[in-house]
Amino acid sequence: MTRVSSFGHQQVMLNSLLDNQSRVFKDQTQITTGKKVETYSGLTSETTTLLGAKTVLDQTGGFLRASDNVKRGLSTNDIQLESVVKNAQNVRDTMLQAIAQEQTFALRDLLNESYTSIVNALNTSIGGVHIFGGARTDVEPVVGKNLTDLAAAPAVSNLFQNDQRHPSAKVGQNTVMEYGLLADQIGKDVFQVFKNIEAYDASASGPLSGKLNATQISYLKGELANMDKAIEKLRVLVARNGTRQSNLDGIIKQHNGQEAYLKVFISDIEDVDVAGAITRMNNDQVALQASYKITSQLGSLSLLKYL
């Protein structure tokens, strides 16, 4: 004889329906969040690995942010150093020309113009922070605005307000890079030559204008040698800054590679295959609809239909 549905059959089908509902809900959650599970507990043995990878990823991101800041600083150093070198070189070339021609007409004007340009470079600020001030970023590193201020100063060192702390940053697990330069480190030797020439020009041996005598030419030759030494020191700073930029580019490249790898590694653990999840959801929805239909049919069966 044909058997009809019993309470046991109904319970089996009801449990199957609930299972299908649970799978559809899980599929929908994965598609919405893009994650395999909503809590770390669902990853069981992979939780420790995932947390460790995320910690390293956060550290790498921090190093990259620090590296970007250092890179901006080094780039600014490069621009301003080139400006200082250019102005010092212009004065040097004018001095050499004066010695060769035994006369000069615009040396002092060039000194004043070059001094002002160098001061502006050394007082460069980014976001209100003076980059050549060391730790004293709230004040201008150089206080003398023109050649008259330089001449009036008891010593060149009196013009500088920076301290002696070179800014640095941790750009790797075991890598601290010093990237900051100081105003007096850059400008002191060049300003000393400017001050010497200005004092000589104002003395009884001056002025250094028009036809130059043998004593004045000899003096300029001595200061030309001092200027060459000052410019050579500046070029060393330029080269050192460039080396740091090159090293930093390598560090950033390494961090970018590690960051990309870690993101893929973490994604493999916690991210869901959305396309696969959509396929599973479609299949599970078909199964759920079938469960609804069968459960409904079981609920409507009666012995009266067989009598």
DSSP the chain: -PPPP-HHHHHHHHHHHHHHHHHHHHHHHHHHH-BS-SSGGGGGGGHHHHHHHHHHHHHHHHHHHHHHHHHHHHHHHHHHHHHHHHHHHHHHHHHHHHHHHTEESSHHHHHHHHHHHHHHHHT-EETTEETTSTT-TTS-SB---SHHHHHHSSSGGGGB---S---EEEEETTEEEE----HHHHHHHHHHHHHHHHHHHHSTT----EE--HHHHHHHHHHHHHHHHHHHHHHHHHHHHHHHHHHHHHHHHHHHHHHHHHHHHHHHHHB--HHHHHHHHHHHHHHHHHHHHHHHHHHH--GGGG-
> Per-residue pLDDT tens for 231-280?
999 999 999 999 999 999 999 999 999 999 998 888 777 766 455 656 65
Residue 32: the pLDDT is 58
- Give CA–CA dist 111/194, Å, rounded: 7
Give pTM, 2 decimals: 0.76
> Per-residue pLDDT tens for 60-71?
999 999 999 999
Nearest residue to 150 via CA among 104, 83, 197:
197
> Per-residue pLDDT tens for 268-285?
777 664 556 566 555 656
Residue 253: the pLDDT is 96
Q: Which CATH class is domain 50-265?
A: mainly alpha
Instruction: Give domain limits for the chain.
Output: 7-34+272-306, 50-265
Residue 126: the pLDDT is 86
Residue 48: the pLDDT is 77
Residue 1: the pLDDT is 45
Looking at the chain, the whole-number percentage of residues with pLDDT higher than 90 is 62
Copy the structure tokens of residue 195. Answer: 């001050």
The 10 Å Cβ neighbour count of residue 81 is: 21
* pLDDT means over runs of 10, the chain (307 residues): 52 57 56 57 67 90 95 95 97 96 91 96 91 90 93 95 94 93 97 96 93 96 97 97 96 95 81 59 57 57 51
Residue 267: the pLDDT is 75
